[in-house]
Amino acid sequence: MWKMSLAGSGIGGGRHGAQGGTKRLKRRLSSFITSALALSVLAGSLAACSPPPAANKLVYGMEAENDQGWCLPEAQMTTAGMLTMRSMFDPLTVPNDKGEYVPFLAKAVTPNKDFTEWTITLREGVKFHDGSPLNAVVVKNNLDAFRGQYPARQPLLFLFTFMDVADVSVKDEFNVVVTTKVPWRAFPAFLNLSNRFGIMAQSQLDDPKTCDTKPVGTGPFMIEDWKPGNRLLLKKNPNYWIKGYPLLDELEFRPMPDPDARRNALLGGEIDAMHTSDDLAVDDFRPEVAGGNVNMYDTLKFTELSYVMLNTSKLPFSNKNARLALAYGGDRNAINQAVYAGLAEQREGPYPKGSPGYLPDPGFPKYDPKKAQEYGRKYEEETGQPLEFELSIIPSVVALGQLLQQLGKDSGITIKLKQMDQAQLINGAINGDFDAMVFRNHPGTEPDLQAVWWTDGPVNFPRFNAKDDQGNWLQPGGKKINDLLVEARSEPDQAKRTKLYEEVNRTFGAEAFNIWAFSSHWAVVTAPDVKGILGANNPDGSPPFPGLATAHPLYAMCREGVSCPPEAEVDSIPVDVETVG
């Protein structure tokens, strides 16, 4: 029904009209050049006018500020947070080009036969930015911090994520053993957590006051200065464990929520790189790419889902008629044409193409205004109340929200808009302080990563998996999804897991628990001399992950003629790397 973003995807901004590119100097010679002296003078003049080589620094315009900093177990990071996290920290695993999770900071992640015990083997010789060594003790403490078993840290969302971890123990200096309560085939994906799980130094883990503002990781860059709302300045880690990297000397992030401002800053040379998840913005950059004015890597692979999340623990959406009225009343094709010139990829379920569980038609309601009105009337008859609700949005989607208000009015639904910032929106999603909200989530690598949103937990998210005071499920369909996801986690056979996730998809369609909308079309656009967006090959030799929804590494980004190796391409540097340990 709707296209939206957690972090300002440029909705409602219309097509961008700024034109960019290198300024060309036009000169008219008033006489013929007839001597070698004249030729040499001209050559010297042109050389003097040539721009100097670019500094080995990159300025990156982000869609938002990472307001909550980098105390990773406690942080609730959007894409901006993941991007800066990958610059200063390293995850134990990363997805490869197929979306399979392979060792990164870890040297190996090895299961026992029934996937109930995982041994994490670390690389020897890796140092944190403060000079302390990476070892099994600090990795155990990080894992315990994320799962709420380390006294100095108080996580929230990750308590649910790691609830199936029974124990974490140190085997020796470079081996950590994780024991799980159930067979957990996809556990390596949770050592990355969509680029939210990086390993912090012991000094940061134990920092009682400035854990969020003084990051200490093993990553390719180290913090130099942070002025929230203005810039984050990083410098090269000279002792990075991937030999010869990073390729840049400095990296600067600037929060620029306005997508037009980001575009203009890039085309005007104020910044060197930016990201966007707006279909129109991506399309508008294509002529600039063709003209050689910018480089761009864009993709729909493993992307997020833009949708409306419904709170089914209370009226109106605890009543299925209200959900169906909203689902049938959403003319996604018309919205796509009106807002995105037909460019957006429409979604019918939570799993994107290429992900286990994807189905081309899982049964989500198709646009039917008569059915929308019919279910709206049924809701009023059953509850005695008009169908109205509050839609939580961030400022960048206000124009879209106003359009949806009108569409709702046409179906007899009253929608009130409630604006808030990103942090408030995410907190509302967790604590249930909303009726419905515009949301962007669920990147499509390992489906088990999304179970935290859709299964039972110590504190139920107040949506379709909510229970009453007696512990009874408020939504039978929610219990079905819970049971399917629990079974899929412990199923060792991938084909059987896929079938279970497909049934999850069908149940979402039948129950209309959320209103699916569009895939987020991510792109990174850079100055024409910037390359290496996705990184080099992973330490195991596999190609880098092609998705952008959970940000991307920056250790291999480089400037042509300054720091790029001969093999560098716009999207990656397709070479194997050498590591310590």
User: How many domains are contained in the chain?
Assistant: 2
Residue 136 above 90 pLDDT? Answer: yes
| CATH number of the domain encompassing residue 392 | 3.10.105.10
CA distance 323 to 535: 43
pLDDT band per the 50, 70, 90 thresholds, residue 395: confident
Neighbours of 20 (CB within 10 A): 18
Average pLDDT over residues 133-149: 98
Query: What local confidence, expressed as pLDDT, does residue 549 receive?
Result: 95
For residues 312 and 195, membership in a common domain is answered with no
CA distance 413 to 435: 14
Query: What local confidence, expressed as pLDDT, does residue 487 receive?
Result: 98
Least confident window among 130-139, 153-162, 356-365: 153-162
What percent of the chain has a predicted confidence (pLDDT) above 70?
89
Check if the beta carbon of residue 64 is closer than 8 Å to that of residue 78.
yes
Q: Of 155, 186, 205, which closes a domain?
A: 205
Least confident window among 227-241, 456-470, 487-501: 456-470
Query: What local confidence, expressed as pLDDT, does residue 424 receive?
Result: 87
CA distance 89 to 205: 13
Residue 217 above 50 pLDDT? Answer: yes
Residue 22 above 70 pLDDT? Answer: no
| CATH number of the domain encompassing residue 125 | 3.90.76.10
Query: What proportions of the chain, in percent to the nearest 5, are helix, strand and coil?
Result: 30, 20, 50
For residues 323 and 193, membership in a common domain is answered with no
Query: What local confidence, expressed as pLDDT, does residue 423 receive?
Result: 78
pLDDT band per the 50, 70, 90 thresholds, residue 28: very low
Average pLDDT over residues 444-452: 93
Which pLDDT tens digit goes with each residue over 505-550? 999 999 999 999 999 999 999 999 999 999 999 999 999 999 999 9
Give the DSSP letter string of 77-112.
--HHHHHHHHHH---SEEEBTTS-EEESSEEEEEE-
Residue 10 above 80 pLDDT? Answer: no
Mean pLDDT across the chain, nearest whole number?
89
pLDDT band per the 50, 70, 90 thresholds, residue 459: low
Residue 47 above 70 pLDDT? Answer: no
Residue 450 resides in a domain? yes
Residue 10 resides in a domain? no
CA distance 431 to 7: 19
Least confident window among 9-18, 62-71, 74-83, 452-461: 9-18
> Which one is predicted more confidently, 433 or 241?
241
Average pLDDT over residues 378-391: 98
Which pLDDT tens digit goes with each residue over 425-436? 888 888 889 999
Average pLDDT over residues 377-404: 92
CA distance 329 to 292: 43
Residue 554 above 80 pLDDT? Answer: yes
CA distance 340 to 205: 44
Average pLDDT over residues 285-299: 98
Domain that holds residue 442: 305-519
Three-class SS state of 309: strand
- Report in angstroms the alpha-carbon separations of 136 from 72, 120, 190: 18, 9, 17
Three-class SS state of 466: coil
Which pLDDT tens digit goes with each residue over 268-290? 999 999 999 999 999 999 999 99
For residues 361 and 497, membership in a common domain is answered with yes
Residue 80 resides in a domain? no
- Report in angstroms the alpha-carbon separations of 205 from 81, 193, 259, 495: 18, 18, 35, 40
Three-class SS state of 223: strand
Residue 561 resides in a domain? no
Lookup: tokens for 33: 């050049």
Query: What local confidence, expressed as pLDDT, does residue 429 receive?
Result: 86
Residue 39 resides in a domain? no
- Report in angstroms the alpha-carbon separations of 112 from 109, 144, 180, 183, 499: 10, 21, 11, 10, 24
Query: What local confidence, expressed as pLDDT, does residue 400 receive?
Result: 79
Q: Of 469, 484, 519, which closes a domain?
A: 519
For residues 192 and 325, membership in a common domain is answered with no
In this prediction the pTM is 0.88
For residues 319 and 445, membership in a common domain is answered with yes
For residues 326 and 455, membership in a common domain is answered with yes
> Which one is predicted more confidently, 32 or 365?
365
Residue 236 resides in a domain? no
Lookup: tokens for 43: 């050559």
Residue 8 above 50 pLDDT? Answer: no
Q: Which helix (H) or strand (E) holds 225?
A: strand 221-227
Neighbours of 384 (CB within 10 A): 7
Residue 385 resides in a domain? yes
What percent of the chain has a predicted confidence (pLDDT) above 90?
76
Sheet of 514-519, strands arranged across: 414-419, 388-393, 436-441, 305-310, 514-519
Residue 13 above 70 pLDDT? Answer: no
For residues 339 and 468, membership in a common domain is answered with yes
Query: What local confidence, expressed as pLDDT, does residue 451 receive?
Result: 92
Lookup: tokens for 504: 């999850």
Strand bridging mode 165-172 / 175-180: antiparallel
Residue 237 resides in a domain? no
pLDDT band per the 50, 70, 90 thresholds, residue 460: low
Residue 124 above 70 pLDDT? Answer: yes
For residues 511 and 380, membership in a common domain is answered with yes
pLDDT band per the 50, 70, 90 thresholds, residue 156: confident
pLDDT band per the 50, 70, 90 thresholds, residue 358: very high
For residues 327 and 463, membership in a common domain is answered with yes
For residues 325 and 195, membership in a common domain is answered with no
Least confident window among 169-183, 416-430, 531-545: 416-430
- Tell me the three-class secondary structure of 28-62, residue by residue: CCCCCCCCHHHHHHHHHHHHHHCCCCCCCEEEEEE
pLDDT band per the 50, 70, 90 thresholds, residue 474: confident
Q: Of 519, 541, 572, which closes a domain?
A: 519
> Which one is predicted more confidently, 94 or 259?
94
CA distance 445 to 351: 9
Residue count of the chain: 581
Average pLDDT over residues 148-166: 93
pLDDT band per the 50, 70, 90 thresholds, residue 311: very high
